[in-house]
Structure formats: C-alpha cells, structure tokens
Structure 1
Amino acid sequence: MKISKFCFMATALSLATFAANATINLTDDISLSGFGSTSITQSDNATPLYINHEITDDTCFDCDTTLGLQGNIRFNNSFNVSIQVVKRPQDEWSSPELEWAYIGYSVSNFNLKVGRLRLPLYLSSEYYYVGQAYTSARPPQEIYNSVLGITSYNGISGSWDIELNDENYLTLTPYIGIESDDEVYIGPMRYDFNIEKTVGLYSELSGFDYRIMFNYSHFKYAVESNYQGLSQPYTADSINIYTLGIEHSWDQLMLTTEVLIDSLHFNWYSSLAYNIDKFTPYITYAESHHYQKNNSLLLGVRYDLTTTVSLNAEWKYTDGNGGDNGELIADPADGDFDAQLYTVMLNFIF
C-alpha cells in the first residue's frame, strides 16, 4: 500500500488526535505535539460568511488561522493527563482557548476521563481544529458550525470498547457535564451562554473500511445577548441534538455523510473524495433547513506535500434559496443571499 493511500485512509478512519502523528517525545512518559492552519480566502458577498470566521469580499489572510499545542503525560499504564490549548480563528494570539484538560484512567476495555473534554457531536470532533486530519480545508460548516462553535464541556465521560468480532468494534461513551460558561460573537453581538447541564451518549460501530457514529446530546442553558454594552436578560431553554455520521471507503474512494437534527436544524452533507497518489480531489453537497436555510456545492483538491503538511484549494457556492442563507451571519444590505467562497489553505502538524 502506498504511503499516500495509507495517510488518506488514516485521515478518514482514525479516532486518535492527528497531531499525535508528529509527537515529540520529551521523555518516555511526556510528549508534545502541535498543529496549525492558515489560509487565503475571499467571498464574493460583502456580508460576513461563517460564525467565528467572518469571511467577506475582502481578501483575508487570517480568517482561518489556527495553532494548537497538546501535551500528554503518562504516569503508568492506567493514569494519564492530556492538555490541549488552541488559538482558534476567533481568538487573539494573546488569549488562546483551553480546549481540553483532563485526567484519564484506563483499565481493560474501559476508559474514564474527568476534566474539560471535547463534545463528541461529529465524526471529526476529536480532532476538530486539526486541519491536517480531514480532507477538505474546513469540515462542512452546515454541520460543524451549527452549534455556534461550542466544542468543549466540563465534566466526565466513560468509554467501553467492545470487540464484536475480529473485524468490528463497538464503542459506547456516555458523558455528563457540569455548569459552565461560554461566549459567542456574531458580528457586533455577544452571546453569553450559561450551560447548566450537559448529558449525552456517543456510540460508534467501526471496522477496517468504515465508521458509523450516532450521538445524542441534551443541553439545558441560559443565554444573554449583549450589543455595545447593552444587555438583554438571560433566556432559559433546553435543546436535544441528534447526529449521525457514516464513513466508508472502497480502495481509493471515500464517502462521508453526516446529519444533524434538533429543534432549530435539519442539516446534512455528503462528500466523495478520491485519492490519486498525493492528490485527493473531493466534492461535497450540503443542505440546511428550518432555522438555517441554504444548500451548497463545494469542489476542491488536497495535495499532501509531506505526511505532515497539506495544501487545499477550494471553491464553494452557497445558494440562499431566494431569500435566506444560514451561513451569512446577518441579512445582506443589498439583498444578495448567495455567496461564492474561494480558499487556499495550508495545514500542518508537528
């Protein structure tokens, strides 16, 4: 099997954090790894596109800029500590985000984690900010941006790995979160979230050439809006989120599909990628319904310069369905709800 084909398969099927592929072993028990992304991108619509990115018709050199560091300490065969700090696209360099920081305990086929953990909503949740880990420049925004970029929770999770037979495995991961706070900026508006409760169950069936995941999450929260120092009172609510993801490969061809359903969304995408040595052309079609309404077509190609560095070139067209577009963060002043997006992205791990 060629190296490039192996990397293509690993990108799509592995659950491990991909930054670990370039781990620096400081000692036998302490390791450090990192990842990053940067891009040149431009839309043909003056209204900002994507929450936390805000891409407009001005050429942008930092709308996707991401840099992360991850450290792991293994105390013995059972206990470990993992910390990941990320400068996300919406963050200033002086204020990166603590994405996870947990103590892990493993015994037999059971793994327990306590601390700040990644929300397991999607196929790529575990490596959400590691652009080198997925084929396209960004994971499909119709799914991955639907919860406003909230990616972590404070709490506890337990995973059971069950070997069904020599080729198929089942993983069950219930999780519970305690009260936590988060904030999201949408244009000039700031939304302060007080997440009172998080409860969920992540499940995954996997084999050599496929993954099928299903996740259910329940959130109870209160949100306060703030515009230029003027605040609106907290509004309490709750939401149930259901996500389903499927990956399957046939030699060099990979099919990926995900669906998200809650009271505000019915969003889905389907993507095909075909690996040809160091090149992987891909196509993605996506739709958003209910609160967000649009459909999109994305064409792109990824080129693996090395096993740790890749380059993406993409074109995406989003149709606002004649009067709406959930990917624009505000109503356009000129009434143009459609958008074309051009991206050249560099991703790396170290």
Structure 2
Amino acid sequence: MNISTYCFTATALTLATFSTNAKINVTDDISLSGFGSTSITQSDNATPLYVNREITDDTCYDCDTIFGLQGDIRFNDSFNASVQVVKRPQDEWSSPELEWAYLGYNISDFSLKVGRLRLPLFLSSEYYYVGQSYTSARPPQEVYNSVLGITSYDGISGTWDIEINDESYLTLTPYVGIESKGEVDIGATNYDFDIEKTLGFKSEISGFDYRVMFNYAHFKYAVDVTTPLGSQKLAADSINIYTLGAEYSLEQWIITTEVLVDTMHFNWYSSLAYNMDKFTPYVTYAESHHSQKNNSLLLGVRYDLTTTVSLNAEWKYTDANGGNNGELLKNPTDGDLDAQLYTVMVNFIF
C-alpha cells in the first residue's frame, strides 16, 4: 500500500472530527479548527429535492453551503471541553446552530461527555458536516436524510474503549438525552419537534482496515405542524431506529454500506471507491422502502487539491418508482418522479 492510499484509508476509517494538521493551536491546551463546503448544483426536476437543501432545476450556488468552527480546551489529563457551531445548509449566516457543546472526562479506557452531543446514528455522524472527511459530496441522502436533519441531543454519554487484540478495538457507548427541540421545514410546512426522551446504545468494532458499527436509538416526541392553512399539534409518539454500518479497505478500494430500519423506513446504500493518488472515483447505489420508495445511482470523482481542500464532481439519478415522492419534497405538478442531479462541490478544513 503506497503512502497516498494509506492516508486515504486512515482518513476514511478513523477521522472523528478534523485533521490534526488543520487545527490552529492557540495555546498548548486550546485549539481552534474549522470546516466548510459550498457547491454549484442543479436538478432537471422543478420539484425541490432533499430536505434542508431544496435543489430544483434552477442552478443553485448556496444549497449546500456549510461553515463551522470548533474550539477545544484541555484543562488537564482528565477534563476537556469542546464547542462546535455550524452554519448548516438550511441556516442563515446570521443564525448558525450550536451543534455540540460538552464537558468531557477521561480516565483509563472510559470517557464521559455531558452537554449537547452528536447523535451517533451513522458511520459519519461525528463529522457529518465536515465534507472533507468523506468521499462523496454529501453523505448518501437515503440514509442520512431519513432523520430530517436532526443530528444532536442534549444529555450524557459514556464510552468504553476495549482492546480486543493488537489490531482490533471495541467501543461501547450508551447515551441518554433530556428534553430538546428540533425544527424542520419541508416546503411550506414547518415541523416543530419536542423530543421528550432519547435513549440509545452504539457499539463499534474497528481495526486498521475496517469498521463495523451498530446503533439503537429510542425517541419519544411530540410535533407541531404548521402549514399556510394553520397549525396542528399531533399526539405524542415514539420511534425506535436501528442502524448498521460497515466500511472496509482493500489496497486502494474502499467499500461502505449502511442500513437504517424503523417503522417508516428500510433504507440502505452501498458505495465503492477506488483511490488513485489524488483522484478517487466512486459509485453509490441506494434504496428507500416503506413510506418513501426510491432508488438511486450516483457516479462521482473526488480530487484532493491538498490535504485540506478537495473537489467533488457528481451525477446522480434518483427514481421514486411510483411510490410517494421518493426524494422529492412534494407532489410534482407534471407527475415526473425521477430526477438527475448535477453537483460540483468544494470542501475544506483548517
């Protein structure tokens, strides 16, 4: 394995937040890092595509725009704190979101976090908004967009790191959330979530060239729905979400697959990437079932300008197969349930 392939594999399999080469050390114990993405994208369907992005057949220059800052403080060998603020695609520049803000405690092979934390539902959850850290321009939307962009919770988590052998590690992370809020706009409809309870458990086994992750999460919630015709408060409900993900590298190949299952979804994708020095072509096939029937094929290539800046060029075909609207956000006026999506994106970290 050459050095460029090794670096690509290490980034794809083990990056938790940012490259250590990118952060700015303010002092020995305080660091600042940042990340961002922006794109030129267009669909061939006039009906908006993707929650929180709403891409149409008009060329869009800010549908994917993300900018984030993270500050980390190490008080001593045991206590640390971290804050991350993100201007997400759905946010105005004047109102970014506090994605996480927590106090951490580490002792031996155990770590504890208290505060606002990232929901660990997927392989890329910890660095969901850091486009530089994954191969494609966006994480596969059939899986990652199925939770409507809700990516954090307020509560506590504990993680045990267990060494299985010299090459394999097991991490176990139970987590509990207190009451928190979430808001999603889908077209002209606003969903205001009151998440009363969050319970979950994540486990992951990893080695030099692989990761296998399983997560279970239980949410109890109520939701207020506001449309141009008025507001309605829906009865409290609960949902159990199961996710399974695996990533494996073989020489220059990277194979990734993830599955999400709950009462409304059975969604999955598989992706294959091949690293050739600075170029990484990739292909992803995905399907959605139950409440949102859809399948899609994505072809793309990533080019690493430097270790901190990358470019993506992608084409995606998505088809609802006559089941609801698929990835489209509303009923198309012309009945066209498929779309081709073109994207050129730049990602960076510092």
TM over 0.5: yes
Distance in structure 2 (CA, Å) of the matches to 1:197 and 1:21 = 38
1:183 is matched with 183
Distance in structure 2 (CA, Å) of the matches to 1:108 and 1:302 = 39
User: What is the identity, as a one-letter code, of the residue corresponding to 2:337?
Assistant: F
Contact 2:319 2:326 in 1 (8 A): no
User: What is the identity, as a one-letter code, of the residue corresponding to 1:243?
Assistant: T
2:247 is matched with 247
Q: Is residue 294 of structure 1 aligned with residue 294 of structure 2? A: yes
Distance in structure 2 (CA, Å) of the matches to 1:34 and 1:100 = 14
Consecutive unaligned residues of structure 1, counting only runs of 5 or more, are: none
Distance in structure 2 (CA, Å) of the matches to 1:326 and 1:197 = 29
Q: Which runs of 4+ in 1 moved over 4 A?
A: none
Contact 2:15 2:133 in 1 (8 A): no
User: What is the identity, as a one-letter code, of the residue corresponding to 1:257?
Assistant: T
Contact 1:224 1:235 in 2 (8 A): no
Contact 2:18 2:33 in 1 (8 A): no
Alpha-carbon deviations, 1:171-216, whole Å to 9, x = none? 0000000001111100111100000000000000000000000000
Query: RMSD in angstroms over aligned alpha carbons?
Result: 1.1
TM-score (norm. length: structure 2): 0.98
3-state secondary structure, aligned to 1:143: helix
3-state secondary structure, aligned to 1:22: coil
1:10 positional shift: 2.1
Contact 1:245 1:256 in 2 (8 A): yes
2:108 is matched with 108
1:329 is matched with 329
Q: Is residue 319 of structure 1 aligned with residue 289 of structure 2? A: no
Alpha-carbon deviations, 1:269-323, whole Å to 9, x = none? 0000000010000000000000110000000000000000000000000011135
1:3 positional shift: 4.5
1:23 positional shift: 0.6
Larger mean Cα displacement after TM superposition, 21-30 or 149-158: 21-30
Distance in structure 2 (CA, Å) of the matches to 1:316 and 1:253 = 21
Distance in structure 2 (CA, Å) of the matches to 1:40 and 1:10 = 29
1:279 is matched with 279
1:160 is matched with 160
Consecutive unaligned residues of structure 2, counting only runs of 5 or more, are: none
1:238 is matched with 238
Distance in structure 2 (CA, Å) of the matches to 1:229 and 1:335 = 24
3-state secondary structure, aligned to 1:51: coil
2:306 is matched with 306
1:2 positional shift: 4.3
Alpha-carbon deviations, 1:315-344, whole Å to 9, x = none? 000011135332111110110000000000
Note closer, same or farther for the CA distance 1:21–1:48 as it changes in structure 2 (3 Å cut).
farther
Contact 1:33 1:69 in 2 (8 A): yes
Alpha-carbon deviations, 1:45-89, whole Å to 9, x = none? 000000000000000000000000000000000000000000000
User: What is the identity, as a one-letter code, of the residue corresponding to 1:348?
Assistant: F
| Alignment: residue pair count | 350
Distance in structure 2 (CA, Å) of the matches to 1:303 and 1:193 = 39
User: What is the identity, as a one-letter code, of the residue corresponding to 1:205?
Assistant: I
